[in-house]
Amino acid sequence: MSESMTARDFHAHSGVGAWRVLFTGAHAHWRTDSLTQGGAFVAAIADAVADLDRAPDIDLRPRSVVVRTSAPEFALDEVDVEIAQRVSAAAAALGLTSDPSALKVININVARTPGTDVRPFWSAALGYDDLWDSDAVDPNGRGPQLAFNDIDRPGRGRTHIDVSVPAEVGAAIVERAVAAGGRLVDERPGLWWTLASPENHGVDIAIWPDLTS
């Protein structure tokens, strides 16, 4: 496997301007006019990466295509760069326009009492596979990743949602959420914000993967 790299290293390469590094790899989003155009793009991607040792994940919708590089355990490397460059070239050849602002990855952090293991239950209920020592993932790559956190404080808001978004849109999302009745609980400027809903449900808006990971 190629040597891993940081998000900064990834973004320093040419031909990856459409891409953003989120929780599970590098992602890009293109608008399409129809499912037919999207299907043609998917076929072009398949041809472009056919000689590489792995392929990207592709989400085809009637008006968009989202592509994610799929380095082992989400660690970026030179193959991710090669995939991103080839996919971007295929998009340019079809005249497609990227829209990074539409990108997001949602993870759920499930709180549990210290000393308990609830991952088997959640994996069985959702049909997930174990990942690392503490997470679970959808084997089809569609549902949100689950992380399990030991938290010994009682009350509401222990389980929370993490939303990984491109660095340039994080602050605007926070502003909209606060204007819609949320409150800012904590923040690390330029990296993440912790929000609470009017009923104290927690949401973390994370931009750090796109900057530092």
Does 24 have pLDDT greater than 80? yes
Range of the domain at 182: 105-210
Q: Quick check: is 2 in a domain?
A: no
Side chain identity at 119, as an amino acid letter? R
Residues 133 and 52 in one domain: no
Q: Which of 18, 74, 56 is nearest to 213 (CA)?
A: 74
Q: Quick check: is 129 in a domain?
A: yes
pLDDT, residue 154, reads 57
Q: What is the DSSP letter of 23?
A: T
Look up the CATH number of the domain holding residue 96. 3.30.1360.20
Q: Which residues pair with 21 in a beta bridge?
A: 26
Dist CA 33 CA 63 (whole Å): 6
Q: Kindly give the pairing relationship between strand 160-164 and strand 202-206.
A: parallel
Cα dihedral 49, 55, 59, 62 in deg (nearest 10): 20
Q: Quick check: is 141 in a domain?
A: yes
The residue written with tokens 């990834």 in the block is 10
Question: What's the number of domains the chain is made of?
Answer: 2
Burial classification of residue 23, based on how many CB atoms lie within 10 Å of its CB (0-12 exposed, 13-18 middle, 19 or more buried): buried
Per residue in 130-185, pLDDT tens? 998 889 999 988 899 999 988 876 554 478 999 999 999 999 999 999 999 999 99
Token duo for residue 162: 């993490």
Does 200 have pLDDT greater than 90? no
Residues 89 and 154 in one domain: no
Residues 91 and 127 in one domain: no
Token duo for residue 62: 């009637």
Dist CA 213 CA 211 (whole Å): 6
3-state DSSP assignment of residue 54: coil
Residues 11 and 51 in one domain: yes
Look up the CATH number of the domain holding residue 206. 3.10.180.10
pLDDT, residue 69, reads 94
Q: What is the DSSP letter of 134?
A: T
Q: Quick check: is 89 in a domain?
A: yes
Residues 206 and 109 in one domain: yes
Residues 35 and 78 in one domain: yes
Residues 82 and 115 in one domain: no
Q: Quick check: is 195 in a domain?
A: yes
Which pLDDT band holds residue 2 (cuts at 50, 70, 90)? Answer: low
Q: Which residues pair with 200 in a beta bridge?
A: none
Residues 64 and 116 in one domain: no
Residues 123 and 199 in one domain: yes
**Domain stop point among 67, 101, 135:** 101
pLDDT, residue 187, reads 96
**Domain stop point among 51, 74, 101:** 101
pLDDT, residue 211, reads 85
Residues 36 and 129 in one domain: no
31-51 as b/e: b if 16+ CB within 10 A: ebeeeebbebbbebbeebbee
Q: What angle do CA 11, 13, 16 make, to 5 degrees?
A: 65
Q: Quick check: is 170 in a domain?
A: yes
- Rounded average pLDDT over 40-48: 98
Dist CA 143 CA 8 (whole Å): 27
Residues 111 and 26 in one domain: no
Are 1 and 74 spatial neighbours (Cβ–Cβ below 8 Å)? no
**Domain stop point among 55, 75, 101:** 101
Residues 69 and 125 in one domain: no
Per residue in 65-117, pLDDT tens? 999 997 667 789 999 999 999 999 999 999 999 999 999 999 999 988 888 89
Q: Quick check: is 88 in a domain?
A: yes
Q: Quick check: is 126 in a domain?
A: yes
